[in-house]
């Protein structure tokens, strides 16, 4: 009862129908629960079935039948002997609704981007669950429709520059303003009966240093205010210090590096940051140049751990090739030795891959659809340099514009950003496990672009 055998690629000990339809009991049920707790494949299958059946088939809309149609059908269906004995209908049938219960078909926009629509798709949540996808950049979450309260314009008050001593009574008076009686019942938002609370903001307030701040203070706090009033001597007040949070840990490095030589204006902070950034960039460039020159090559025969390290270096080198377009002989040699799985396309040039879609909710395989602009399909070479990488090379095609964020699944760890090597572009798929690759192409039809479909099956 609990087993199913139609799928050979995965664990099929659990029959999803038996679980979903409550056909298990006793020891079978306990065993199934225990297995589902441990087996991810079975759990995914059960979830797939549940989503398919409960969310889709179970909620198929029904066409309404009016009472007149029902009476007509009753007269046609039931023999006279039963109808005449029954007499007239002893209950009322609700009339058919003017608007049918069948929801109006979704009028999609002219399918420029088919999966982008404001209509809530029932599959979206499951796809997010499976691919653990973060929301796309161009589909921001809509803001919650909270109406902003209407504030009356504040009275124009001449800006006063008050000394620090004068600010204290203002702050002390704030609770009295806040404690003013408000209407007991919440008034509707358009009627503002009570006076609005006014919060005084003094931008010239003296910065208050905390205890841990080892900034050398020229004078104690009470004497700082007269210095501000006099203002002939520049006060060493850090411009970037935050009055609200009263701390600024980023300045500590600067303080320690400068030591006693801290001058009143803190301009070296920005300069130091720029210098550090330039230094880091120089380091990266130096490392790239050294690697490309073959100076950082690791010995080949070390161990299995070293072999994996070499693989990761190979991957990052592929990604870094965009920095220095001159491909090294080693990289090209490794690319050329990778086994070619498929060569597809019509050799059209000048196109661009603009989108990658993870295309299926079936846990048995992961589908990646590469959408391409252009007049046709470029030559596409799918290679598998090792068990955990699949590279798709698009000849004479720009691939740098395709966003790859958040594409992950049972089979795919991530998709690396497209790397442009001259006219050719390469997109590398990082695999979570060894897969069997199948691929095919689809022409541009309707609102769909030219497509390359790569299916990654569990091997």
Partner 1 sequence: MDQVHVEAPAFSARAASVERGFYSDFPLVLNYVARLIDDIDGAAAITCAAFRQVADGLRQRPNDEGLRRADVFRAATELSRSVLRPRRWFRRQRTAQVNLDDFPQPEARRALRRDTVQRALTALPFDARAMILLRDFVKLSYDELADVVDVAPRKLVHALDRSRAELGEIYDYIKF
Interface residues toward partner 1, by CB under 8 A: 1, 4, 6-7, 15-18, 21, 23, 48-49, 52-54, 56-58, 60-66, 68-70, 72-74, 76-79, 82-83, 85-87, 89-91, 93, 96, 100, 102-105, 114, 123, 359-362, 367, 369, 448
Q: How far apart are CA 430 and CA 415, in angstroms?
A: 6
Comparison of 364 and 376: residue with beta carbon closer to partner 1: 364
Minimum CB separation from partner 1 for residue 434, in Å?
Answer: 22
Minimum CB separation from partner 1 for residue 139, in Å?
Answer: 18
Comparison of 178 and 362: residue with beta carbon closer to partner 1: 362
Comparison of 17 and 242: residue with beta carbon closer to partner 1: 17
The Cα-based distances of 406 to 47, 134, 390, 403 in angstroms read 21, 6, 17, 9
The Cα-based distances of 224 to 216, 230, 240 in angstroms read 13, 10, 18
The Cα-based distances of 222 to 163, 209, 447 in angstroms read 12, 13, 72
Spatial CB neighbours of 345, under 8 Å, sequence gap ≥ 6: 376, 377, 378, 379, 380, 395, 441, 452
Minimum CB separation from partner 1 for residue 3, in Å?
Answer: 9
Comparison of 391 and 439: residue with beta carbon closer to partner 1: 439
Q: Which residues of 332-344 are buried (b: 16+ CB within 10 A; e: fewer)?
A: eeebeebeebbeb
Minimum CB separation from partner 1 for residue 24, in Å?
Answer: 10
Minimum CB separation from partner 1 for residue 51, in Å?
Answer: 9
Minimum CB separation from partner 1 for residue 15, in Å?
Answer: 5
Comparison of 66 and 234: residue with beta carbon closer to partner 1: 66
Comparison of 116 and 275: residue with beta carbon closer to partner 1: 116
DSSP string, 160-217: ----HHHHHHHHHHHHHHHTS---SSPPPTT---SPPP-----TTPPPPP-SS-----
Comparison of 205 and 457: residue with beta carbon closer to partner 1: 457
Q: Distance from CA of residue 178 to its chain's centroid?
A: 42
Minimum CB separation from partner 1 for residue 7, in Å?
Answer: 7
The Cα-based distances of 35 to 2, 38, 262, 294, 362 in angstroms read 11, 5, 66, 51, 20
Comparison of 131 and 291: residue with beta carbon closer to partner 1: 131
Comparison of 58 and 188: residue with beta carbon closer to partner 1: 58
**Structure tokens, 378:** 């470029």
Minimum CB separation from partner 1 for residue 59, in Å?
Answer: 9
Comparison of 32 and 331: residue with beta carbon closer to partner 1: 32
Tell whether the torsion through CA atoms of 349, 351, 353 and 359 is positive or negative. Answer: negative
Minimum CB separation from partner 1 for residue 124, in Å?
Answer: 12
User: 429 pairs with which residues across the strands?
Assistant: 390, 415
Q: Reduced to 3 states, what is the DSSP secondary structure of residue 350?
A: coil
Minimum CB separation from partner 1 for residue 110, in Å?
Answer: 16
Comparison of 31 and 49: residue with beta carbon closer to partner 1: 49
* Residue of 195, 239, 231 whose CA lies nearest to 215: 239
Contact (Cβ atoms closer than 8 angstroms) between residue 412 and residue 457: no
**Structure tokens, 438:** 């199948």
Residue 110: count of CB within 10 angstroms of its CB: 6
Minimum CB separation from partner 1 for residue 71, in Å?
Answer: 9
Minimum CB separation from partner 1 for residue 67, in Å?
Answer: 9
Contact (Cβ atoms closer than 8 angstroms) between residue 424 and residue 449: no
**Structure tokens, 111:** 């399918």
Q: Reduced to 3 states, what is the DSSP secondary structure of residue 102?
A: coil
DSSP string, 8-33: SSS---S-HHHHHTT---HHHHHHHH
Comparison of 69 and 280: residue with beta carbon closer to partner 1: 69
Contact (Cβ atoms closer than 8 angstroms) between residue 440 and residue 344: yes
């Amino acid at each position: 009862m609990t087993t199913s055998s139609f799928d050979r690629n995965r664990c099929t000990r659990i029959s999803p129908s038996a679980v979903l339809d409550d056909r298990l009991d006793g020891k079978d049920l306990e065993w199934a629960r225990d297995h589902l707790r441990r087996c991810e494949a079975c759990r995914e299958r059960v979830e797939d079935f549940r989503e398919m059946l409960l969310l889709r088939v179970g909620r198929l809309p029904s066409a309404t039948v009016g009472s007149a149609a029902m009476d007509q059908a009753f007269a046609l269906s039931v023999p006279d002997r039963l109808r005449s004995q029954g007499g007239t209908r002893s209950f009322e049938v609700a009339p058919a609704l003017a608007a049918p219960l069948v929801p109006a078909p979704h009028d999609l926009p002219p399918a420029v981007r088919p999966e982008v629509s404001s209509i809530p798709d029932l599959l979206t949540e499951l796809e997010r669950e499976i691919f653990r996808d973060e929301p796309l950049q161009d589909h921001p979450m809509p803001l919650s429709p909270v109406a902003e309260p209407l504030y009356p314009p504040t009275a124009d008050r001449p800006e006063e520059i008050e000394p620090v001593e004068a600010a204290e009574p203002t702050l002390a008076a704030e609770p009295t303003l806040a404690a003013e009686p408000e209407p007991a019942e919440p008034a509707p938002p358009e009627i503002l009966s009570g006076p609005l609370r006014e919060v005084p903001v003094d931008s010239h307030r003296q910065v208050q240093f905390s205890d841990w701040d080892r900034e050398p203070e020229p004078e104690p706090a009470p004497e700082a205010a007269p210095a501000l009033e006099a203002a002939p001597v520049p006060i060493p007040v850090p411009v970037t210090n935050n009055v609200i949070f009263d701390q600024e840990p980023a300045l500590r490095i600067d303080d320690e590096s400068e030591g006693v030589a801290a001058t009143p204006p803190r301009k070296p902070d920005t300069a130091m940051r720029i210098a550090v950034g330039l230094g880091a960039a120089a380091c990266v460039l130096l490392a790239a140049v050294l690697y490309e020159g073959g100076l950082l090559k690791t010995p080949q025969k070390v161990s299995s751990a070293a072999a994996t390290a070499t693989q990761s270096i190979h991957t990052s080198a592929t990604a870094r090739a965009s920095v220095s377009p001159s491909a090294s002989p080693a990289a090209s040699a490794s690319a050329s030795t990778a086994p070619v799985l498929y060569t597809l396309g019509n050799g059209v040039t000048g196109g661009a891959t603009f989108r990658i879609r993870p295309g299926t909710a079936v846990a048995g395989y992961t589908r990646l659809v590469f959408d391409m602009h252009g007049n046709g399909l470029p030559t596409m070479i799918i290679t598998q340099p090792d068990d955990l990488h699949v590279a798709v090379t698009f000849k004479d095609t720009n691939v740098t514009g395709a966003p790859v964020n958040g594409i992950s699944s049972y089979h795919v760890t991530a998709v690396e950003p497209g790397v442009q090597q001259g006219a050719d572009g390469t997109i590398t798929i990082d695999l979570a496990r060894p897969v069997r690759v199948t691929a095919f192409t689809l022409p541009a039809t309707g609102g769909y672009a030219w497509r390359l479909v790569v299916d990654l099956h569990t091997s």
